[in-house]
Chain A
């Protein structure tokens, strides 16, 4: 079975500090894409960052970066210089086949404290 685990149900971080959200996944496929989505309170889900499994270089998007460890099946998200607007549920997800659905983790609720 293909699964995603996010071991931290809730986290908090002080504004301007750095936080890392963990994600591990399980698949026997070799080609897949990994995603982090953000769902702010009462707002719609948006893509934060994505990573192609065949690329060794970790993806970065401004203050967001990932640490992708393919052998360990780990895909953590680092948020630098945290801002109040980063407060949200963060979902890790992957997709392995064309036309296949996304498999989402249970989410990590991140609170950025002033």
Chain B
């Protein structure tokens, strides 16, 4: 099975712009979670989608949003970018988001905001 894929791998944007990141989960996985990873804050949970519905949300401003499509692919969008949004954005998938399930991570999208 192919692993979790994320596109693009690298992005450079300027403040005020918006950006859309994409994540394709492992085939058959319906739960997709997004995380922001920074040297200062570590790994922080953004949100989780399951069957096209946002099931859980972390403590991020409304500029961060996401969606999931019927094929379980997910996108996250960040509007009005700020310098502090520079980070590695990771997505992870699992079959149904169950407590016991392992999350499989993608390679991440590294976003640099100038």
Q: Is the CB of B45 within 8 A of A102?
A: yes
In the complex, chain A residues whose CB is within 8 Å of the CB of B43: 91, 102, 104, 107
In the complex, chain B residues whose CB is within 8 Å of the CB of A105: 42
Partner of A98, one of B35, B98, B103, B104: B98
Closest B-chain residue to A91, C-beta based? B43
Interface residues of A in 9-47 (CB under 8 A from B): 31-33, 35, 37, 43-47
In the complex, chain B residues whose CB is within 8 Å of the CB of A91: 43
Closest B-chain residue to A95, C-beta based? B99
In the complex, chain B residues whose CB is within 8 Å of the CB of A37: 105
Residue among A35, A45, A46, A100 having the largest count of chain B Cβ atoms under 10 Å: A45
Q: What is the interface of chain A mostly: helix, strand, loop, or mixed?
A: loop
A-B residue pair count with CB separations less than 8 angstroms: 53
Q: Is the CB of B105 within 8 A of A44?
A: yes
Please tell me the number of chain A residues within 8 Å of chain B, measured between CB atoms: 26
Q: Is the CB of A52 within 8 A of B105?
A: no
Partner of B56, one of A45, A52, A100: A100
Please tell me the number of chain B residues within 8 Å of chain A, measured between CB atoms: 25
B94 to chain A, nearest CB (A): 10
Q: Does A62 contact B (CB under 8 A)?
A: no
Q: Does B102 contact A (CB under 8 A)?
A: yes
Q: Is the CB of B42 within 8 A of A98?
A: no
A79 to chain B, nearest CB (A): 19
Closest A-chain residue to B99, C-beta based? A98
Residue pairs across A and B with Cβ atoms less than 8 A apart, 9 shown, are A33-B99, A35-B102, A37-B105, A43-B107, A50-B102, A100-B99, A101-B48, A101-B58, A107-B43
